[in-house]
Amino acid sequence: MKKFLGILILSLLICNFGFADYLKVIDGDTIIFNDEKIRFSGIDTPELKQICSKESQKIFCGILAKKLLIKKIGDEIPKCVREGKDVYDRVLAECFVNGESLSSFLVRSGYAFAYRKYSKKFIKDEEFAKKNKLGIWSMKFQYPWEFRKGT
């Protein structure tokens, strides 16, 4: 019986039960990881309710950014490097999956903006996406910081 319990406990630890319990994607630039809200520093993604348009078609670009982040993370556990806290008491961090910056990936894919007000780190990624009309750069959009002012 003791051996059975040991094997059961070990198998529960090995299985990835409860992955969703310690990682939740809130939107394109915010996650909850181990009950801690983490805001990706240096980038800004469209808000979930934000609508972009392409060829007169309405597109929920904030939801697209969130879905892209979820897909990129997959079953991996991000490693986050803390950079401080913001005015909303969220941890500011740059998070990585398999050594790749999620922030750089989102900006370079065109689903996040370099948040120049706070950082110059992702400007080259944004210039790449803009030049190649990737993601939101292929649409008509409002910058998220401008969208928030109107809501």
- State which residues form the domain around 133: 19-150
Q: What pLDDT, in 10s, does the model give residues 123-132?
A: 999 999 999 9
In a 13 Å sphere around the CA of 132, the CA atoms on its Cβ side amount to 13
Whether 131 maps to a domain, the answer reads: yes
Averages of pLDDT over runs of 10 residues in the chain (151 residues) are: 37 40 90 93 97 95 97 95 92 96 98 94 98 98 94 66
Angle at alpha carbon of residue 37, lines to 96 and 58, rounded to 5°? 80
pTM for this one?
A: 0.84
- CATH number of the domain enclosing 39: 2.40.50.90
Q: How many distinct structural domains can be found in the chain?
A: 1
Whether 95 maps to a domain, the answer reads: yes
Whether 87 maps to a domain, the answer reads: yes
